[in-house]
Structure 1
Amino acid sequence: MDAHLILWPVFAQILLTLLMYLVLAARKAKAIRDKAVDRQQVALDNRLWPEDTVKVSNNIANQFEAPVLFYALCLAFLGLNAVSAVALFLASLFVLSRYLHAWVHTHSNHVPTRLRLFLVGYLILLVMLGVLGWELAIR
Structure 2
Amino acid sequence: MPRHTIFWPVLCLVLWTFLVLVQVPIRRFHAAFKGRVVAADFRCGESEYVPADVALPNRVFMNLVEVPTLFYVVCLILYVTGTVTPACVALAWLYFALRIAHSLIYLTYNHVVHRFAVFATSNLVVLAMLTCLAVRLSD
TM-score by length of 1: 0.94
* Deviation (angstroms), 1:45: 4.5
* Deviation (angstroms), 1:42: 2.6
Give the corresponding residue for 1:117. Answer: 118
Partner SS for 2:110: coil
Distance 1:98 1:137 in 2: 29
Distance 2:42 2:63 in 1: 21
The correspondence of residues 56-95 of structure 1 with structure 2, limited to 5 A, is 56-95=57-96
Identity across aligned pairs (percent)?
Answer: 28
CA contact (8 A) 1:52 1:107 kept: no
Distance 1:113 1:43 in 2: 32
Q: Which runs of 4+ in 1 moved over 6 A?
A: none
| 2:38 partner letter | D
Deviation readout 1:63-88 (Å, 9 max, x if unpaired) = 12110100000001100111111000
CA contact (8 A) 1:21 1:60 kept: yes
Deviation readout 1:12-69 (Å, 9 max, x if unpaired) = 1111110111111211111011111122233234033221121111111111211010
| 1:115 partner letter | F
Give the corresponding residue for 2:136. Answer: 135
- Count of matched residue positions in the alignment of Structure 1 and Structure 2: 138
| 2:72 partner letter | Y
* Deviation (angstroms), 1:94: 0.2
TM-score by length of 2: 0.94
Gaps of 5+ in 2: none
Distance 1:59 1:70 in 2: 17
